[in-house]
Amino acid sequence: MANNYSTQKSTQSTAQNLAKNQTKNQTKNSPRLLSRSQQQLKRQREWVYLTHFLATLQLLPQKTISGSDDGKEADFTCIFATNVDGKQGSYVVGIELTTLPRLRDRLGNDHLMLKRWYWQTQLQMVSGFTPTQLHLKNGNYLSEQKINQHIAVLPEPSKLSNWLRAGQDIGLALGKKWLPSAYVSDMTMAENLPVDSVIDQQDIDAVMIKKASKADNYRQRRKLDELWLLIHTNEQQENGILALESEKSLYYDSNFDRVFLTRYPNQQLMQANRTVKPIIKR
């Protein structure tokens, strides 16, 4: 009788454990949790693209705020220090990230924090660990960085930019020696690869069809001095590299103040020109 009771109790305990494990697995694999996990990975990839972009511009914000993905604010808000006639202030820039519709994100999910750390460290070193101070003039800002040919002043290539390249080469060498191979697999130079495709005006138009109508919405939550759109791509594609059409200017018409395009990890930056003349029908 005791043996039957013990066997029955053991069976019940086993059944309860199986039920708990099944419930736990169902919870773990629930669509809601999977969706949240994918959103978190997406934001981590966006952090990598953002820090790469800021390192390319050599712009170090005082503070960077990660936005909520509800369409009422940009993906990131960067707050820069300003100096207007000797008075200290702040300049708030919203940065919305997107991709070219015809391409997929090739960054992957491996070592995202290390990649973000790499670009953040490079930016910190180039900036001397001091946030960039923007000098405002007539409502626009001038800095040592080339933000816009018609607004910002850029000195000729200096030792600083050469040091930036040297720092990247040193970082790659150290990464190859000490860090996992997947960390540097997308950081290698692609100069000798064939051209896979070229970014042209149709690519910018395709982005604007998706993003232009949303520009005003990104200003709802915070008051912005400027709203930028960063089109991030990957230089290395399946059959070669993604190239820029160097001899032609690209244009956009929307309420984004500036539109940039990067090809990670290349540190060559392209800025599209804003025009008031409609380019595409939406």
Tokens representing 238?
């399946």
User: What one-character DSSP code corresponds to residue 90?
Assistant: E
Tokens representing 195?
């051209």
pLDDT at 268: 82
Q: How many CB atoms are located within 10 Å of the residue 270 CB?
A: 17
Rounded Cα–Cα distance for residues 78 and 212 (Å): 21
Question: The whole model's pTM is what?
Answer: 0.74
Rounded Cα–Cα distance for residues 100 and 231 (Å): 7
Rounded Cα–Cα distance for residues 180 and 100 (Å): 29
> How does pLDDT run along the chain (282 residues), one tens digit per residue?
555 555 555 555 665 565 555 655 555 556 666 677 888 889 999 999 999 999 988 889 999 999 988 889 999 999 998 877 778 888 999 999 999 999 888 888 888 888 899 899 888 988 888 898 876 655 555 443 444 432 333 223 333 344 344 444 544 454 444 445 544 555 555 667 888 889 999 999 999 999 999 999 999 999 999 999 999 999 888 888 888 876 678 899 999 999 999 999 888 888 888 886 666 555
